[in-house]
């Protein structure tokens, strides 16, 4: 009996590695997920919360990458870039979005600009590999705080979300307090047109745009503490019809930030919470120590979205 017990324990632990759980990672704090499906693999890019506690503010220096072919087992790739790799940036590796075009990966991301253009800015970096390393593609910011005047705060140009139409036209959505979008040039390295605004109720930040069948969806963090709301349209240019709350306030986190993907015929909602418990006596998860989680996403017959049910189990086998 004793021998059997000794054998059973390692077996239990090894099989538990394949069981989904939320948050996904408990050895590192991850925030602001942005997922990309490429060649049958899901690449998950996250910010990296390194604040020593939940008292002061975010401390974020670099971005992390993970990959999976089943949404349950994740391979860690390590930092793909740090904020100060943009020579014009002071730091603050905030939210990002990755896309692929013709074998090049384009990493659009938020950083704090140096004092020549104070405030938060959006840069673009490229690599031939989805896991980097990524290098600044243009040597300057794509969007700086002085380019938009809708709100007085210097963090209103954050959280890029990229959407490419079937004809290749690509748009960058971004913003805090005022949602904005702009067409990108064909090489994706400059703006091609004026920055326009969207009308989205209770908008805070964290835009994400996706399309399913003939419906466009824009989801975003709304109110504060943040829920995730969404709106639908028949065109990337709107008008957007507000559809309500998609996800409630996530446990122990004032912010939220979602990524929505379809993978192997199933739909997923990826977000962050502050739910990691204290490990090894270190401060627990919380508003500045966030962790990424995943749930299945379900559509109603009319194309509207069913409210997300946040779980600690994450994706069960049948949700994969």
Contact 294, 268 (CB under 8 A): yes
Backbone angles phi and psi of 254, in degrees to 5: -75, -30
32 binds ligand FUB (CB under 6 A): yes
- We find the least distance from the C-beta atom of residue 316 to ligand FUB, in angstroms, to be 27
157 binds ligand FUB (CB under 6 A): no
For residue 185, how far is the Cα from the chain centroid? 23
DSSP designation for 33: E
Q: What is the DSSP string of 269-286?
A: EEEEES-PPP-TT----B
109 binds ligand FUB (CB under 6 A): no
Six-digit token string for 8:
């059973």
| Distance (Å) of CA 15 to CA 26, 73, 296 | 18, 11, 22
119 binds ligand FUB (CB under 6 A): no
Six-digit token string for 298:
């379900």
Backbone angles phi and psi of 59, in degrees to 5: -130, 105
110 binds ligand FUB (CB under 6 A): yes
| Distance (Å) of CA 229 to CA 173, 218, 221, 224, 268 | 16, 9, 6, 12, 16
46 binds ligand FUB (CB under 6 A): no
Based on CB atoms, which residue is closest to ligand FUB, 158 or 195? Answer: 158
- We find the least distance from the C-beta atom of residue 217 to ligand FUB, in angstroms, to be 18
- We find the least distance from the C-beta atom of residue 318 to ligand FUB, in angstroms, to be 30
23 binds ligand FUB (CB under 6 A): no
Contact 272, 291 (CB under 8 A): yes
Backbone angles phi and psi of 113, in degrees to 5: -75, 155
Kindly write out the interface string for residues 72-101 of this chain, putting x where it contacts ligand FUB by CB under 6 A and - elsewhere: ----------------------xx------
29 binds ligand FUB (CB under 6 A): no
58 binds ligand FUB (CB under 6 A): yes
Based on CB atoms, which residue is closest to ligand FUB, 22 or 253? Answer: 253
Based on CB atoms, which residue is closest to ligand FUB, 32 or 295? Answer: 32
137 binds ligand FUB (CB under 6 A): no
- Burial-class residue 163 by CB neighbours within 10 Å (0-12, 13-18, 19+): buried
222 binds ligand FUB (CB under 6 A): no
Kindly write out the interface string for residues 196-215 of this chain, putting x where it contacts ligand FUB by CB under 6 A and - elsewhere: ---------xx---------
Six-digit token string for 186:
């064909």
Q: Which residues, 238 to 277, sit near ligand FUB by CB under 6 A?
A: 255, 257
Based on CB atoms, which residue is closest to ligand FUB, 43 or 94? Answer: 94
How far apart (Å, rounded) are the C-alpha atoms in residues 295 and 176?
25
How far apart (Å, rounded) are the C-alpha atoms in residues 320 and 316?
7
Based on CB atoms, which residue is closest to ligand FUB, 20 or 124? Answer: 124
Among 24, 35, 46, 47, binds ligand FUB (CB under 6 A): 47
Residues found near ligand FUB in the complex (CB under 6 A): 31-32, 47, 58, 94-95, 110, 158-159, 205-206, 255, 257
């Amino acid at each position: 009996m004793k021998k059997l017990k000794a054998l059973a324990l390692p077996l239990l632990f090894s099989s538990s590695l394949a069981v989904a759980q939320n948050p996904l990672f408990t050895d590192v704090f991850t925030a602001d997920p942005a997922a990309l499906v490429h060649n049958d693999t899901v690449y998950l890019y996250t910010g990296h919360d390194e604040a020593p506690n939940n008292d002061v503010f975010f401390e974020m220096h670099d971005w992390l990458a993970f990959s999976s072919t089943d949404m349950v087992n994740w391979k860690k790739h390590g930092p793909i870039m740090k904020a100060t790799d943009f020579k014009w940036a002071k730091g603050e590796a905030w939210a990002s979005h990755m896309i692929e075009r013709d074998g090049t990966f384009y990493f659009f991301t938020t950083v704090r600009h140096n004092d020549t253009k104070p405030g938060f800015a959006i840069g673009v970096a490229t690599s031939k590999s989805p896991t980097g390393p990524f290098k600044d593609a243009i040597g300057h910011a794509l969007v700086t705080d002085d380019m938009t005047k809708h709100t007085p705060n210097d963090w209103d140009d954050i959280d890029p979300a990229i959407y490419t139409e079937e004809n290749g036209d690509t748009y960058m959505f971004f913003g805090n307090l005022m949602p904005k979008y702009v067409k990108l040039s064909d090489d994706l390295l400059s703006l091609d047109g004026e920055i326009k605004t969207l009308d989205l109720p209770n908008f805070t930040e964290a835009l994400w745009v996706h399309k399913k069948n003939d419906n466009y969806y824009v989801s975003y963090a709304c109110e504060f503490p943040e829920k995730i709301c969404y709106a639908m349209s028949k065109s990337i240019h709107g008008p957007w019809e507000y559809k309500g709350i998609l996800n409630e306030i996530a446990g122990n986190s004032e912010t939220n930030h979602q990524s929505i993907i379809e993978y192997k015929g199933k739909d997923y909602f990826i977000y962050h919470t502050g739910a990691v418990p204290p490990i090894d006596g270190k401060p627990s998860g919380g508003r500045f120590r966030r962790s990424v989680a995943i749930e299945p996403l379900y559509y109603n017959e009319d194309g509207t979205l069913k409210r997300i049910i946040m779980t600690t189990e994450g994706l069960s086998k049948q949700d994969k």
